[in-house]
Amino acid sequence: MSVNRRRLLETAVLVVGLAGLAIVVARSADDVREQVLPSLGALAVACPLALVSIVASGRAWLTLFRDLLDDRGSRRRFEATYYLSQLTKYVPAGGVVQAASQVGLARATGVPLGRVALAFPVSVIGTVAAGATLGAGVALAGELTGWARALALVGLATPILLHRGLMASVLRFAHRFVRRVPAPDRLPSQRSIVTYYGWALLSIGATSGAYAVLLRSLSGEASPVIVFFATALSWTLGFLALPLPAGIGVREAVLVAAVPGVPAALVLAASLAHRLLALGAELVAVLGSKVAARGKDPAEPPAPQGAARTPLARP
């Protein structure tokens, strides 16, 4: 894709993303006037955690393509497209639009379509595995029933899904019925998949820590440790709720159920503050990555290392 077309795509995604942000901020402004927000000290601690979360998720996505991006400039441009795509999850049909923009912008940097087509589901599996692993800690909550604890502990087994051989077997089976399913040889390496999982743990852990700090400043009735694990679980379930903008509603409902000792109003107030901090962190990441990539944009994006110079057939 030419630089002009890529910039046009990025501009379109930015406009759509900012429109979604404007809607969320406008709605949140009304909620802010009705809620007691966390203390300034809590906000000061949660703010850098929110930034760590978005940067770690960007590095996780980049990890799946490092073998194709052979210089710092191309990696910076690629990572910048990820942060830009995150703004679109706030529009209606949130996760669906965000997934489409993430894949489209990654492809626009010159990465082969076959790799992007496989890397995205790998990223979903890695993210869910990381969130489920951390969310398993909810089993420590004494208020939960026995079956709920057992269900939460299943999350400890989800890293099995990261086995590249297992993924390849699933792809080969699917290819028998759907010829357009990409060949498994385009899967990221096992090391890249495991590294993605590590970055995802950091990302979800940081966002969970930020929420625990915010809720702690509003109520001392819930254990910060349990809130941390409950946030990881709620974030993961919200992540899977693709049609909802940023999983709004699902995450709050799970948190209210997982920390019954805290009034729902305080859970929602902490969620509101957390959402606004996440919005701010994403905007900082978008602007920061653009500044970092400035001057690194050649007339045409170079073909990634190992990629074919001729157009690739659509898998």
Kindly report, residue by residue over 64-100, the tens digit of the pLDDT: 998 888 888 889 989 999 998 888 877 766 567 788 8
- Above 60 in pLDDT, residue 210? yes
Kindly list the domain boundaries of the chain, sorted by start residue.
3-293
pLDDT-derived band at 302, boundaries 50, 70, 90:
very low
Of the two residues 30 and 168, the one the predictor is more confident about is: 168
Rounded CA gap, 268 and 256, in Å?
A: 8
The torsion region of residue 165 among left (phi > 0), alpha (psi -120 to 50) and beta comes to alpha
pLDDT score recorded for residue 183: 74
Poorest-pLDDT segment among 234-238, 267-271, 294-298, 306-310:
306-310
Rounded CA gap, 104 and 18, in Å?
A: 18
- Above 90 in pLDDT, residue 185? no
- Above 90 in pLDDT, residue 38? no
Of the two residues 12 and 114, the one the predictor is more confident about is: 114
DSSP 15-81: HHHHHHHHHHHHHHHHHHTTSPPPPHHHHHHHHHHHHHHHHHHHHHHHHTTTTT--SHHHHHHHHHH
Q: By C-alpha distance, which of 222, 272, 194, 293 is closest to 34?
A: 272
**Residue that has been written with the tokens 């170079």 in this structure:** 302
pLDDT score recorded for residue 152: 87
- Above 50 in pLDDT, residue 194? yes
- Above 80 in pLDDT, residue 21? no
pLDDT score recorded for residue 156: 93
